Amino acid sequence: MAHYGDHQLQIYQAGLKGARPRLPMRMEDLEDAAHAVLSRESYWYVAGGAGEITMDANRTAFDKYRIHPRMLTDVSERDLSVTLFDRILPSPLLLAPIGVQSIIRPEAELAVARAAAATNVPMILSTVSAHSMERVAETMGDAPRWFQLYWPRSPELAASFVQRAEQAGYEAVVVTLDTKMMAWRARDLQNAFLPFLNGQGLANYTSDPWFRDGLERPPEEDMWPAVRRWAGEFADPSKTWKDLATLREATKLPILVKGIVHPDDARLALEHGVDGIVVSNHGGRQVDGSIAAIDALPGVATMVNGRVPVLFDSGIRTGSDVLKAKALGADAVLLGRPYIWGLALDGEDGVREVIKRVLADVDLTMALAGKAQFAEVDGSLLVD
């Protein structure tokens, strides 16, 4: 039986022929290598946060939780699969929605989509992508994909987005709640860099009939009216929980809310009929000084109590992070910045390689901790 961990042997075997890994193995080195090839503006747009306190805490908080390995259990046949919304996925990993990937490489989300499809890891496409959701879907065949919604001000545009996504074979809608506006981001302000202002990341808007209708000039001739309209449409700070009902009417797809860190918000989300929750603090990019995402997970998971899937992101870098998240109540996790470093360094191949490494690490760490089934990992994996 093949296992994700076999990737380890492939790397050693290539070494016998004198080949060293193309991408640095340690996550920190991978990021440093990406830093070296990207422009200062692009690197910091991805690496930066709303200050650094929560971004750092997202990593260091994992250290508080320690795995307590068990010996002499049969781990010869391992299974990392999870079932989400009736689809069996071979692993618990999804790709977090990351916008404006054209600041990294022009092929952007198309390269990521191919890598996701090749590894059967669902891609969650951002609303603010450089390629339209239809174009991305075309590259993916039947491979699983979800659509992330930045919930626009106009109900017409929101309905159009989710209906286009449904039509293009996206299997769930992830509504991001933590970005009603962009945080104070010192790195980007220092670089005076906001990619949307020169039209990057607007493909889903400029390809939308409703959005185009309201423009005085087509974006192909003049991007500025589209940018202005986007700035007005992007988000609506007045939205509240009751507005979820209008989204619910617009699509049959499962709706998840992303950005939940408080148990009371998890309760409200359930009361308003969501189908899933993503515990996330947006990688520390929105509220600096806020709770580390992994510390928010147990309270949310307890409140949800298995009624809907709970996903987790913000700080996932290694196999043990994935296992800790599962032990603390996540059904699956989203990988964020690391795959962007893979994209920066080696395009589609780089993204695929980063995904394979994380999954190999999950597989091996799980086996060495004494578990054969990811589905069976629970709180007993951790030191009390």
Ligand X SMILES: Cc1cc2nc3c(=O)[nH]c(=O)nc-3n(C[C@H](O)[C@H](O)[C@H](O)COP(=O)(O)O)c2cc1C
Q: Which stretches of 201-310 are DSSP H helices?
A: 203-206, 209-213, 224-233, 244-250, 263-271, 293-304
**Choosing among ligand COI, ligand X, none, which partner's interface includes residue 182 (Cβ < 5 to 8 Å by kind)?**
ligand COI
Task: Note the Cα 172 to chain centre separation in Å.
Answer: 13
84 to 103, contacts with ligand X by CB under 6 A?
A: 96-99
The answer to whether 34 and 105 are in contact (CB under 8 A) is no
- Does the annotation list 298 as a binding residue? no
- Does the annotation list 313 as a binding residue? yes
Pick the binder of ligand COI from 27, 53, 182, 215 (CB under 6 A): 182
Site string for ligand X, 185-224 (x = CB under 6 A): ----------------------------------------
Pick the binder of ligand COI from 99, 152, 259, 276 (CB under 6 A): 99
35 to 74, contacts with ligand COI by CB under 6 A?
A: none
Please state, in angstroms and rounded to a whole number, the distance separating the CA atoms of residues 68 and 70.
7
Give me the residue whose beta carbon is nearest to ligand COI: 99
- Does the annotation list 148 as a binding residue? yes
Q: How many residues does the chain have?
A: 384
The answer to whether 149 and 166 are in contact (CB under 8 A) is no
- Count of residues interacting with ligand X (CB under 6 A): 21
Site string for ligand X, 33-52 (x = CB under 6 A): ------------xx------
Q: Which stretches of the chain are DSSP H helices?
A: 6-16, 27-37, 40-47, 53-60, 108-119, 133-138, 155-167, 186-190, 203-206, 209-213, 224-233, 244-250, 263-271, 293-304, 319-327, 337-368
Give me the residue whose beta carbon is nearest to ligand X: 336
The C-alpha angle 62, 65, 71, rounded to 5 degrees, equals 125
**Other CB atoms within 10 A of residue 195 CB:** 20
296 to 315, contacts with ligand X by CB under 6 A?
A: 313-315
- With binding defined as CB under 6 A, does residue 105 bind ligand X? no
Identify any residues that bridge with 4 across adjacent strands, giving them in sequence order.
none
Site string for ligand COI, 275-314 (x = CB under 6 A): -------x--x-----------------------------
The continuous run of DSSP H or E covering 146 comes out as strand 145-149
Binding site for ligand X (CB under 6 A): 45-46, 96-99, 126, 128, 148, 176, 258, 280, 282-283, 285, 313-316, 336-337
Binding site for ligand COI (CB under 6 A): 99, 128, 179, 182, 282, 285
